[in-house]
Amino acid sequence: MDEEKLFAARLHAVRCRPYLATALFALHPVESQHVPTMAVDEHWRCYVSPRFVDSMPLAMLAGVWVHEVSHLLRDHHGRGDRYAAEHELTGPGERLRMNIAADCEINDDVFGHGLPRPKGSVHPRDLKLPSGLLMEEYLGQFTLGPWTDDWAWLECGSGADGLVRPWDLGPDGAHGLSEHERDAIRFLVAQGIKGNPGDVPEGWQRWAEEAFHPPQPWRELLGAALRSAISGAGEDYTYGRPARRSASLPGVVLPSLRRRPPRVYVIVDTSGSVSDAELGSAILEIAAITRALGGRRDHVSVLSCDAAVHVTGPLCQAEGIPLIGGGGTDLRAGFDTALRGRPDAIVALTDGQTPWPVARPSCRTVVGLFNRPRRPEDSDYVPDQPPAWAKVVTVG
């Protein structure tokens, strides 16, 4: 095998993608006649076909290095296994589909800037799919068929799809990395990207952010934030009233559980580009959570901070939520009104384009922030960030 060419390619890859250097150097190459091109296993070994090294131009070979290490950094074998278990998928056909989907996730931002795209590599647009999605999202959107025939030979190894190959050296073979070592490398690479995001493509920046803290669905987060904001107010033990079981235990002072339904005010900022559907689902969510906590319908109040009463109107009528309309696009007015009702918690649903109250309100506050790209006409207007005393959940 032309090892010099293989290692020169790795050096070139490190020069083009310095933020992946640790991972590229941690990969252990193993010469193998069984793999068609280059393939990885989950223990960070890279099986290389000598013929493939001879046939590829050096810069393209460097691209393949980066491609293979991306499979490992992005934990495609673990995710492939989890997806297979969840959807009860078996057989080599499904694993080929996982390899194709994993390649789609990688290839849309791995090449370019010194690393030309190798011939025959998969790009989401070949499957008429948008780029920038995750492997799991691609998996739900295509099946094998004549349009995937070109990639029937695709083979990135068990590191890409989780299916153990006959040539894999296994966990006990030489130069394998343990789970802890793999985590440590992924962590170092992610820290490097987060610390110096300058030239790093957006896909890798997103990966670095989420590598150890995958984002949670906003519904769960909003629910948890609201629950903890209301906690202590709705239901708690008190010695103020004797417990019902006191009669059976004379001489022992027992607390009783007292339940007071929490009062929640929802301030809705309808001035921005928030869609009706998003608003509706967010408000329904809040109403459901408060009900689950023992709140009755009349304990959820919705304030709309704009004239767009029609958005929330029908919904609130259907749900029995009284709607107090009026006010400007300034959420401070909404906070003032809400605080007069002595709520246990305030939930503000907004896209953040508003001034915030200067002082901390007397109750806990949850801000559901609709994540919006800034409109160009607002470019000179910088909105204040939600204040530190609020629990901020990005919604949608």
Partner 1 sequence: MPIAMENPALDAAADLLALLHDTTTEPRADSQLEALTLAVSADLPVLLWGEPGIGKTAALNHLADSLDLPLTTVIASVHEPSDFSGLPVVGDDPAVQGVPMAPPDWAVQLVRAGQGLLFLDELSTAPPAVQAALLRLVLERRVGTLRLPPGVRIVAAANPRSSAADGWELSPPLANRFVHLQWTYDHDVVVRGLGGTWPRAALPRLDPRRLHDSVAFARRAVCELLAARPGLVHQLPKNETRRGGAWPSPRSWEMTLRLIAFATAADTTRDVLSMLVRGAVGDGPGLELLASMDRMDLPDPETLLADPASAVLPERGDLRQTVLDGVVAAVRKRPDQSRWDAAWALLVLALETGAPDLVVVPATTLAALRRDDWQVPAAIERLAGVVSLSQRADRAVGGPK
Is 114 a binder of partner 1 (CB under 8 A)? yes
Report in angstroms the alpha-carbon separations of 161 from 169, 261, 317. Answer: 16, 50, 50
Is 58 a binder of partner 1 (CB under 8 A)? yes
Strand order in the sheet with 38-40: 28-31, 45-48, 38-40
* Residue closest to 162 by CA, chosen among 189, 127, 136, 131: 136
Nearer to partner 1 by C-beta: 29 or 261?
29
Stretch that binds partner 1, among 23-31, 117-125, 130-138, 323-331 (CB under 8 A): 23-31
In the range 65-94, which residues lie near partner 1 by CB under 8 A?
A: 85
Report in angstroms the alpha-carbon separations of 233 from 71, 216, 341. Answer: 48, 26, 15
Q: Which residue has the tokens 């190798």?
A: 118
Q: Which of 90, 92, 252, 376 binds partner 1 (CB under 8 A)?
A: 252
Stretch that binds partner 1, among 143-151, 201-209, 226-234, 263-271 (CB under 8 A): 226-234
Is 181 a binder of partner 1 (CB under 8 A)? yes
Stretch that binds partner 1, among 133-141, 143-151, 251-259, 345-353 (CB under 8 A): 251-259
What is the C-alpha separation between 120 and 67, in angstroms, rounded? 13
* Residue closest to 135 by CA, chosen among 166, 156, 111: 156
* Residue closest to 42 by CA, chosen among 169, 210, 155: 169
- Binding residue count for partner 1, defined by CB under 8 A: 65
Is 25 a binder of partner 1 (CB under 8 A)? yes
Is 5 a binder of partner 1 (CB under 8 A)? yes
If you ran DSSP here, which 8-state letter would residue 24 be given?
Answer: H
What is the C-alpha separation between 204 and 62, in angstroms, rounded? 18
What is the C-alpha separation between 266 and 327, in angstroms, rounded? 14
Q: Which of 1, 8, 127, 307 binds partner 1 (CB under 8 A)?
A: 8
Nearer to partner 1 by C-beta: 188 or 324?
188
- Quick check: 97 and 165 in contact, CB under 8 A? no
- The secondary structure element, H or E, covering residue 395 is strand 391-395
Cβ 308 to partner 1 shortest distance, Å: 28
Nearer to partner 1 by C-beta: 124 or 352?
352
Is 193 a binder of partner 1 (CB under 8 A)? no
Nearer to partner 1 by C-beta: 119 or 128?
119
Q: Which of 227, 260, 332, 372 binds partner 1 (CB under 8 A)?
A: 227
Stretch that binds partner 1, among 95-103, 119-127, 232-240, 340-348 (CB under 8 A): 232-240
- Quick check: 315 and 286 in contact, CB under 8 A? no
> What angle separates helix 58-73 from helix 92-110, to the nearest 10 degrees?
120
Q: Site residues (CB under 8 A) for partner 1?
A: 3-5, 7-12, 14-15, 21-23, 25-29, 57-59, 62, 85, 114, 116, 175, 177-181, 183-185, 187-188, 191, 212-213, 215-216, 220-221, 223-225, 227-228, 231-232, 235-237, 251-255, 257, 292-293, 391-393
